[in-house]
Amino acid sequence: MRKAFMGARLLRLREERGLTQAALARMLELSPSYLNQLERNQRPLTVQVLLKINAVFGVDVQMFSEDEEARLIADLREALSESGTGVSVSEIKAFAADMPVIGRALVALHRQARAGSERLEALAATLGAPLESLASAPPLMPYEEVRDFFYDRHNHVPELDEAAEKLFLQGGLEPGAMDVGLERLLQDRHRIRIRVESETEIGGQRQFDGDNRLLRLSRSLESGQRAFQMATQLAFLEHRQELEKLVQSPRLTSPESRALGRIGLANYYAGALILPYGAFLTAAEDLRYDIDLLGTRFGVGFETICHRLSTLQRPGARGIPFFFVRVDRAGNISKRQSATDFHFSRVGGTCPLWNVYEAFASPGRILTQMAQMPDGRAYLWVARTVTHDHNGYGAPGKTFAIGLGCDLRHAARLIYARGLDLGDPAAATPIGAGCKVCERPSCPQRAFPPLGRKLLVDERRSRFEPYAAS
C-alpha cells in the first residue's frame, strides 16, 4: 500500500460517531498523539489501522481508498475546467482530501448543469430556435440518472450479488450449462415454460407472458445468452421487492428512471447468477483474468465477462478494480461502468489515441495498451470488437468495441501484461479524458481547444499541433 494521508476522512468518521479523539484512540488501541497526527495528515494511514477501523466500526475501508480520492479528483478537474478560473491540480487535490463530501456535491451539481445545457442545445437545434429563447434546463434523462446511480455504487450491488450466489448454490446450477439449470428452476419454482421462437414473432429477445406462465426466447440467442435472459426473468420473479427498494434512490427521480433502474439491476442479478461471485473471482485469479478462457469456462461471451469483471468489489474479497466501456464507431459510449477512478469526459468526446477505437481496424482481435493520463496515472487497457448480427443478409447488425482497463499497478496480475515493459514510462501512450478537458499542450490529435484556457493565435506561425493554448 502506498502512503495514504486520509486525515479528513478519519476526522469525518469520528465526528459522525460523536467521538472525541481520546475515545476513538482507545477504541482503535492507538495513542491520542498518534491519532492526532493521523487526522492532521502528519502520518499516513496504515493497513493495520484500516483493519482496526473495519473491525470496530464495520465500515467499508473503500472510503479510505486512494482510488476513491483519485476518482473524485478526476471528476473535480472536469467540473472546474469549465469555470475558467484556472484552479490548479494541487488545489483540487487538497480540496478532495479535506472536503470530499462537498467535492462530490459540487461534481453532482456540475453534472446536472452540463446535462441540462446539452439538453437545451439539442432542443434548440430541434426547434430551430435560438438557445436564449428557451426556458430553464430540463432534468437529466432517465438513462443518465441510471448511469450515475451505478457509478455512485462503483458498479457493485452486494444485495443482488449475495442473493444470486445463494440461488446458484441452492439450485444446483453448473457453470457452462446454466441455460439447462435455469429452465429447470423456472419450471420447478414458478411453473414457467420456455418456448423458443423467432425474434420477429417475439418482438425482441425475451417476452414474459404471466397469464400463461410462458417465457418466450429468441432462437437466435446462444446458450449463454438464453441463460442471461432466464436469469433476468428470475430477478423480476424472486427479487421484485429488493429491486423496488433499490430504485427508491434519490438519484432516480422519475418513473422512467426507476423502470430503467429495475431493468439494470435485474441484468446485474443475471450476470451475478450465471457468473457467481466466489467461483468467478477464483477462476479469474487462476486464469490471470484471461477473458477468452473465462468465457469458455462459464459459457458466455466476451462482453459479459468484461462487464462482470468490473463488478468484483465485495469487501474482503475484491478483484481487480476495472473500468468497463462499450463504444461504437462514431465514438458514442453506450455502456460505462467503473470500479476505479478512471473516467472519460462527459463534456464531449473521448481520446482518439485510446486503443478502444483502434479495435475497429482489427475486428475480433484483442489489443493491449499502456496508457497514461495527464495527471501521471497509468493504466493497462484491453480492447476487442464484438458483433451482434443475426437478422440475415443485408440487414444492419451491431458492432461495438469493448474496453476493459485497470490501474497499471494491478497489470502484472493480468495475462495481457505479458511482453509489456510495465516499468518504462515512455512505453505508455499519452491519452486524455477528452479534448475539451485535456491539458496536454502538444497533442496532434486535438479536436478542440481546452476549456478555460486562452487560445494562442499567431498569423506568422503554423504549428503541427492544432489549437495551441496558454
CB count within 10 Å of CB 252 equals 22
* 92-151 confidence digits (pLDDT tens): 777 777 777 787 778 777 777 766 666 555 555 545 555 454 455 556 788 888 988 888
Which domains are delineated in the chain? 7-100 (1.10.260.40), 140-274 (1.10.10.2910), 308-470 (no CATH)
Q: What is the mean pLDDT of residues 209-219?
A: 94
- What is the pLDDT, as a whole number, of residue 350? 74
The rounded distance, in Å, linking the Cα atoms of 403 and 420 is: 18
User: 447 or 188: whose pLDDT is higher?
Assistant: 188
pTM given for the model: 0.73
DSSP output for 66-98: HHHHHHHHHHHHHHHHTT-S---HHHHHHHHHH
- Does residue 363 surpass a pLDDT of 70? yes
* DSSP 8-class letter at 337: E
* 222-264 confidence digits (pLDDT tens): 999 999 999 999 999 999 999 999 999 988 999 999 999 999 9
Residue that is written with C-alpha cell 459459457 in the block? 299
* 47-99 confidence digits (pLDDT tens): 788 778 877 776 655 556 556 677 777 778 777 766 666 677 778 777 777 77
- What is the pLDDT, as a whole number, of residue 1? 44
- Give the end-to-end CA distance of the chain in Å, rounded to a whole number: 37
165-185 burial by CB neighbour count: b if 16+ within 10 A, else e?
bebbeebebebeebbebbbeb
The rounded distance, in Å, linking the Cα atoms of 41 and 35 is: 10
User: 127 or 274: whose pLDDT is higher?
Assistant: 274
Q: What is the mean pLDDT of residues 165-169?
A: 95
